[in-house]
Structure 1
Amino acid sequence: MEALVVGAGVVGLAVARALALRGASVVVAEAAEAIGTGVSARSSEVIHGGMYYPPGSLRARHCVAGRRRLVRFFESHGVPYRLCGKLIVATREEERPALETILSRGVANGVEELALLEGADAIALEPALSCVAALHSPATGIVDSHALMLSLLGDIEDAGGVLALRTPIDAAERRDGGWQVRFGGEAPDVLRVDCLVNAAGLGAQALARRIDGTAPDGVPRQVLAKGSYFGCSGRSAFTRLIYPAPVEGGLGIHLTLDLAGRMRFGPDVEWVERPDYGVDPDRAGLFAAAIRRYWPGLPDGRLVPDYAGIRPKLSGPGEPAADFRIDGPAEHGLPGLVHLFGIESPGLTSALSLAEDVVDRLMAGI
């Protein structure tokens, strides 16, 4: 079987690896000049536990299963990571019910070792913290996302797969029992494959519209949420990730750590019309006010603009958070084609589990 995966972010690479390990001849087409330059390059690099998402949802199922697969992958491939744990904190009594809801969801989703702590117990773990209660998730961690993507690519290439950079897809049509794909870029060409996976991230909806046979009403709208991050100079005040109670459109301005121990804060939520990766230094004041709710000791002038990412959401302001969307032959009626829409957080954590789901759908619909 010959397969084309469009998009060399973490999910696209994971899908290509899963196909290659099942014996497919795989090409990964990436429009950019390197792997993982879009959504995957601008995340928090967090290994999520899986407690935020409604039980039975694709996010819940794939986050928990994906995390377990990832940890085994990290160990077998030498990918740098650390399960440092996370505290989701209530800084006011009114936020305590939100923690109880997250705990209930986590238990239903099978997340391990969750514990609801009183404020004093949480502060005993993290003395710089201020809160009235916290939910402790020891299974949460951090990873070097680029090292992960390089390891996925290594497995693809070891299995005979090929990466084609600077290779945008102009169109695809169903022909002779397979897909005929027309490439643009530096070397326009045509490739015939048995199956096609649209893992183009921010470009997934646009690509779907260029694939012949995809019904216009089968392509969901895309809503862009920009999230900025600020770094923090000086020695880290925390050893765990610190998350506030969730806010509309995201998980709130949280504290994450990189593998060197450096603190960074974000993302916030800005609804935008088009990708914009600039970080406005004037947002530091908004960040500082949010951070001081759980870290009152944040010194003045320590926040510095770091980077921004764009999340390809399927729901907008004031709407319930949409689930991942995996549209295979059973959904759109086209053999050998899977679209991935709205793959944002926890996409990195879910990648290996999502990949198996995609391949199963392809195999069932070819």
Structure 2
Amino acid sequence: MGERVQTVIVGAGVIGLAIARALAQAGREVIVLERHGLIGSEVSSRNSEVIHAGIYYATDWLKTRLCVAGRKKLYPYLESHGVAHRKIGKLIVACDQEQLAKLSGIMEGARVNGVDDLRLVSAEEVHEMEPHLACTGAILSPSTGIVDAHGLMLALRGDAEAAGAMIAFNAPLEGGRILDDGIALDVGGETPMSLVADEVVIAAGLGAQDAAAAIEGYPAEAVPPIHRIKGNYFALSGKSPFERLIYPVPVHGGLGIHATLDLSGRVKFGPDVDWDAEPAYDVDPARGEVFYEAVRSYWPGLPDGALAPDYAGVRPKLTARGEPARDFVIEGPETHGVAGLVGLFGIESPGLTSSLAVADHVAALLGYGKAQ
């Protein structure tokens, strides 16, 4: 039959670790299954490491509420746990009159979302703030920041383990089934095991749909399709021309090729939205042509030969090219009817920012608190 446990979480990325922390601190016996040999080796470690304000998303989305609530929780958490971060701010720049006209709509949407510290800045003021930028105007988001994502995951892991949670590495979920009194799980790896859990949370990112499909009795209609979309990054050689994050006006599928600083001051540009690529982590140098064109729309002084392929990430998107964007999908027993089961799908950006609020929301779906 298998060893009986209270809670199993599938996935030890930033979301899974945050959920493990919340449930362990709520007094649950928690085991985290991670198919790799380390924490956060996929989506959680291959992103821009940006703390988002909650500007762009639809007002009625769960993603919006979790981002705004998560950002408000995250800064104090980082401070209290000594995790490296900086609230450096972001400029969303318009490069022509058509984009300039969109800024007011972005501002109003953000205000309705609860982001109340944005302000419009003129081209002249932008030039004073960032002399190398060329634009017709911009939005300043002072509460946007950057964070050491791995440091955040280490802090979450430390809290979870201090509260009694355990992480099983190299432990892929290979199968399972819904029972009358729990959920049976078959775990592979070097030391296979069978478990029966009162609660199972699928927080497996790119593998969430596969994990759900492996559990007999998980309602297929509750599992949205996944589109694994690649995003490439290029690094700038030399000193950063910017003191803040620089974002263009958003494009379909992403936030455009933006300039992000890391905590050492190094600049990377990306990600793009590579709809047609295989979801691998190599970066094709030939994509640099697209990057030069995009970056020079707001930084005309980008020198030839200054960009080098850096790294790539893969988004667990719920939409294909040309389809409208979708909200996070976080389904508990009240949605699919299976007691003790929560599935998280399509948790891409701003998942890192939202992680603490996502954890509280999942805990509430299982009966341990109030939903976000």
Which category describes the TM-score, using the shorter chain as reference length?
over 0.9
Q: Which residue does the alignment assign to 2:85?
A: 81
Q: Deviation at 1:170?
A: 1.0
Please list every run of at least 4 consecutive aligned residues from structure 1 whose deviation after the TM superposition is greater than 3 angstroms: none
The match for 1:323 among 313, 322, 327 is 327
Is 1:18 the counterpart of 2:27? The answer is no
Runs of 5+ unmatched residues, structure 1: none
Is 1:174 the counterpart of 2:174? The answer is no
Q: Which amino acid in 1 is paired with 2:308? A: V
Q: Which amino acid in 2 is paired with 1:212? A: E
Q: Which amino acid in 2 is paired with 1:168? A: P
Q: Deviations over 1:166-206 (max 9, x none)?
A: 00011122225222211011111111221000001001011
Is 1:191 the counterpart of 2:195? The answer is yes
The match for 1:34 among 5, 20, 38 is 38
Is 1:248 the counterpart of 2:252? The answer is yes
Q: State the SS of the aligned residue for 2:183.
A: strand
Distance 1:29 1:98 in 2: 44
Q: Which moved more, 1:179-188 or 1:305-314?
A: 179-188
The match for 1:127 among 122, 128, 131 is 131
Distance 2:316 2:164 in 1: 31
Runs of 5+ unmatched residues, structure 2: none
Q: Deviation at 1:348?
A: 0.3
Q: Which residue does the alignment assign to 2:309?
A: 305
C-alpha distance 352-292 of structure 1, shift in aligned 2 (>3 A): same
The match for 2:117 among 113, 116, 138 is 113
Is 1:153 the counterpart of 2:157? The answer is yes
Q: Which amino acid in 2 is paired with 1:154? A: G
Q: Deviation at 1:364?
A: 7.4
Q: Which moved more, 1:239-248 or 1:97-106?
A: 97-106
C-alpha distance 254-273 of structure 1, shift in aligned 2 (>3 A): closer
The match for 1:64 among 68, 77, 86 is 68
Q: Deviations over 1:207-251 (max 9, x none)?
A: 111112112222111112110000001011000000001111100
Q: Which residue does the alignment assign to 1:216?
A: 220
Q: State the SS of the aligned residue for 1:130.
A: coil
Q: Which residue does the alignment assign to 1:261?
A: 265
Q: State the SS of the aligned residue for 1:8.
A: coil
Distance 1:272 1:299 in 2: 29
Q: Percent identity?
A: 53
What TM-score, normalized by structure 1, do the two folds share?
A: 0.98
Q: Which residue does the alignment assign to 1:333?
A: 337
Q: Which residue does the alignment assign to 1:359?
A: 363
Q: Which amino acid in 1 is paired with 2:28? A: A
Contact 1:224 1:273 in 2 (8 A): no
Q: Which amino acid in 2 is paired with 1:307? A: Y
Distance 1:62 1:9 in 2: 17
C-alpha distance 76-364 of structure 1, shift in aligned 2 (>3 A): closer
Q: Deviation at 1:274?
A: 4.3
Is 1:9 the counterpart of 2:9? The answer is no
Contact 1:112 1:139 in 2 (8 A): no
What TM-score, normalized by structure 2, do the two folds share?
A: 0.96
The root-mean-square deviation of aligned C-alpha atoms, in Å, is 1.3
Q: Which residue does the alignment assign to 2:237?
A: 233
Length, aligned pairs only: 365
